A and B are shown apart, each in its own frame.
Chain A
Amino acid sequence: MNRNKVWMSVALAMLLVACKSTPIAPAKVEDKSVGTPATTADQNANGSDTNGIKEVNIDSNANGNDGNPLRDPNNILSKRNIYFDYDSDAVKAEFRPLVEAHAKYLVAHKDAKVVLQGNTDERGTREYNVSLGQRRSVAVKKALNLLGVQDTQIETVSYGEEKATQNCADESCFQQNRRVDIVYGNE
């Protein structure tokens, strides 16, 4: 099509010749806090364990939980995951008791702070999913605000799809990824 252009074009190529590439010095990110709180979405969601075997966690049961209700497995405050429907940021009725319990704790402990971490499933683009996860954490924040929790006690952030289980084959897998995790400031 532009055969003429092809043969007529001038030696602009010369301009490219002198390019030299910038050397790259790698930088290591220091991971200051050791270990992400493992996302135990599977057990939390259904409460059922496979093969009829119930795992006993010696650390929390035998050694007690130093009286901290946030870490007492028998206390609803130890439940930290709120799950969402597809394309939705509505906090479902079944998570109402969980949200109320955390609101009550935060109102009673004005020095306590939480980070609400929003998450999405892997479908969609990464940055858009960061925004969708944020919308979910904002929805939980608004629920806490209505129950009297101060803005200064809450930070809403989003991991988008970054913590999502990859290559989900079915809806129950996708659903595990659509959630807000409540993380207390000293955790």
Chain B
Amino acid sequence: MMKAFNRVLSILLFLFNILLMNSAHAALEIEISGGSAQQIPIAILPFAEASGVATNEMIHQIVTADLKSSGLFRVLDTSGMANLPTTSAQIKYPQWVALQAQAMAVGHVDNLGGGRIKVTFQLMDVLKQTQLIGMDYQIAPTQVRSTAHKIADAIYEKLIGTPGAFGSRIAYINKVGKRYTLQVADADGYNPQNVVSSNEPIISPAWSPDGSKMAYVSFEKKKPIIDVQSLSTGERKVLANYKGNNSAPAWSPDGSKLAVVLTYGANSQIYTISANGENLQQLTKSSAIDTEPVFSPDGQSIYFSSDRGGKPQIYKVPVSGGNPSRVTFEGGYNVSPHFSPDGRYLSYIRNDGGRFRVALQDLSNGQVQLLSEGSQDESPSFSPNGRVILYATKVRGRGALATVSADGKVRQRLSESSGDVREPAWAPLAKQ
């Protein structure tokens, strides 16, 4: 029963996204499966539009899609209902209590003139008949999509208790033909924008903590070199171009330095380097492979993968140096560590008999859960609110992006229509 429902839901969402593609340039389509057992029933009503304003119900559609994608809400069907309210004063509560709505969002869009519009929205508690949120946004019509994500984030935070991540962005590498492009898109895959492109491979994109820059590895010089690029100006600077490989950049939480992997004439070892390219220091000294460094959110340790014990496992070492200690013990092969923003969980890739899947380890008690269902899953990356993990998977031989909720219950797939998509990295929330 639930399965059939989910199938219908995913088909509907698929069709719904085709509709959306016509109104915005979508690159990724979304399929959702699963859902939390306790979903909050909510009504999201179409926003009334003043004459001269044409958002084409985008706000209502985007807020609905965002909340559904979290798996934490049951968005009530209001199609076919007459006289839907667009302000709290118009709400006849018994009707919504009968529908078992716990909360409802109403709103309207007004024309301010001079190319500006005003989006007003209220979130109401249906049982208490009180206002939970009331906001208005004075925006340009081009900001309707991002405003809708902000509304969804506000509703999510109010009802779930943690900030939403619908307004955040993701980066990934899209390979079309022989061309590699680093792209940044909204978290739902819309508005893809090119950051850098090349006929030689680009790998390992990493957001600076303030979201203003990206470090990545480019092979344009026939070897891996680390570049840092400003997103707003497009200015690129070489961070590391030493003899041998320069790869796997990872920012420190304060953005002052990066952990990188260099080789000179030997195996991969981990170094730290200031964000301006100075003060290179070797952190690990082994004859084994040490790679894929990542800073712990407190900035005190660097976690990395290493085969110093035979098969690859995840280790940690103080940023100041010292002896590494092993972090993963379960499973014969664990690589690509990534932290939850609160530092409580570590996500990584486990190879279990040739099957590569996303694993999640609770660092407080060591418990591990396998979250993804693919066989070539890579590059786990947490949403800024820690609720969802974005990763790369393969669908019919082509790279695609997928997400799974940290509790493993809700899965989504974002597949690019034409390209081979890999190495997603979820942007941190911009600090303003």
Contacts and interface: CB of A to CB of B under 8 A. Distances in A.
A42 interface: no
Q: Closest 6 CB pairs between A and B? A: A25-B234, A29-B198, A13-B154, A162-B201, A131-B268, A157-B223
B199 A157 contact: no
Contact of A29 (B203, B220, B263): B220
Interface string A1-45: 110011101011111111111111111111111001000000000
Interface residues of B, number: 82
24 contacts: A6-B160, A7-B125, A9-B161, A13-B163, A16-B167, A19-B429, A22-B232, A25-B231, A28-B197, A29-B196, A29-B202, A36-B200, A125-B335, A126-B204, A126-B379, A126-B423, A127-B203, A130-B268, A134-B244, A134-B263, A138-B266, A138-B267, A154-B265, A156-B263
A126 B420 CA distance: 14
A130 B224 contact: yes
Which among A12, A115, A130, A167 has the highest number of chain B CB atoms within 10 Å?
A130
A166 to B, nearest CB: 7
Interface string A103-147: 000000000000101000011111110111011001001000000
B349 interface: yes
A130 B243 CA distance: 15
A151 interface: yes
Contact of B193 (A24, A134, A162): A24
Interface stretch (B4-12, B19-27, B105-113, B211-219): B211-219
A115 B222 contact: yes
A12 B132 CA distance: 12
Given A7-B125, A16-B157, A162-B203, A31 B220 contact: yes
Contact of A127 (B158, B202, B336): B336
A158 interface: yes
Interface of A: 1-2, 5-7, 9, 11-33, 36, 115, 117, 122-128, 130-132, 134-135, 138, 141, 151, 154-160, 162-163, 166-167, 183
B189 to A, nearest CB: 15
A22 B211 contact: yes
Contacts of A163: 201
Contacts of A30: 220
B229 interface: yes
A130 B291 CA distance: 9
B381 interface: no
A9 B160 CA distance: 8
Interface in B102-156: 125, 133, 135, 137, 146, 150, 153-155
A27 B236 contact: yes
Contacts of B146: 21
B195 A162 contact: no
Nearest to B397: A167
Which among A115, A134, A183 has the highest number of chain B CB atoms within 10 Å?
A134
A135 B336 CA distance: 18
Contact of B305 (A128, A160, A162): A128
Contact of A128 (B161, B184, B336): B336
B232 A25 contact: yes
Given A25-B233, A29-B198, A115-B222, A128 B335 contact: yes
Which among A20, A24, A163 has the highest number of chain B CB atoms within 10 Å?
A24
Which among A9, A29, A115 has the highest number of chain B CB atoms within 10 Å?
A29
A158 B154 CA distance: 46
Contacts of B137: 17
Interface string B341-362: 0000000010100101000000
